[in-house]
Amino acid sequence: MIEPEIKKKVQIIADKNTHKRSGGFSLIELVVIIAIIGVIAAIAVPSLLSNLPNIRLKSAARDLYSNMQKARMGAIKENTKWAIKFDSDGKSYTVCSSWVSSADYFTEKTVNLTEYNGDISHKPGIAPYDQYANNTVIFNSRGVGNKGSVELKNKLNTEFMVSTQPSGLVQLKRRVGGDWK
């Protein structure tokens, strides 16, 4: 009687030793995956870093577009004039509420383009979009503004333009080749 019990226990121990673990990764598999991730990162990071100035410029252009929309909507909401005043050195602009004149307004916020870390500057627009009179776009209480544009440019000479139409329409465009799209 003892003998069949011993055989049974020996069989159980043998079965445990023949079954391998089915979950997890081996050390070799883990090292190979880490090496593949390292190679992909080594290829992707330089490309991302070289494109960073353009990413920052696009962000600055979208922020300017949003601030123009904010000024337009603020003018309608508060039934007063709002404006965006561009400085003469090309490094900042101010969003102004309760606009009466270039010397009489409330500053909502000032945006410094150097904060984008991409050597970004603005300059007045050129034909056919033209520049704003006194470097200022003004929206009245109906959301109607003056026609003009401002161009944002980085050290890689990539350009974006934000323009307004007399109807108050605000547009964001990028220069592709010689055309604005």
* Residue 161 pLDDT: 94
pTM of the model: 0.76
Both tokens assigned to 56:
């920052």
In this predicted structure, what is the pLDDT of residue 76?
96
Q: Where are the domains of the chain?
A: 28-180
Return the CATH number of the domain spanning residue range 28-180: 3.55.40.10
Determine whether 175 is exposed, middle or buried from the number of CB atoms within 10 Å of its CB (0-12, 13-18, 19+).
middle
* Mean pLDDT, each 10-residue run in order, the chain (181 residues): 67 60 80 94 87 92 97 96 93 95 93 89 80 92 94 92 93 89 87
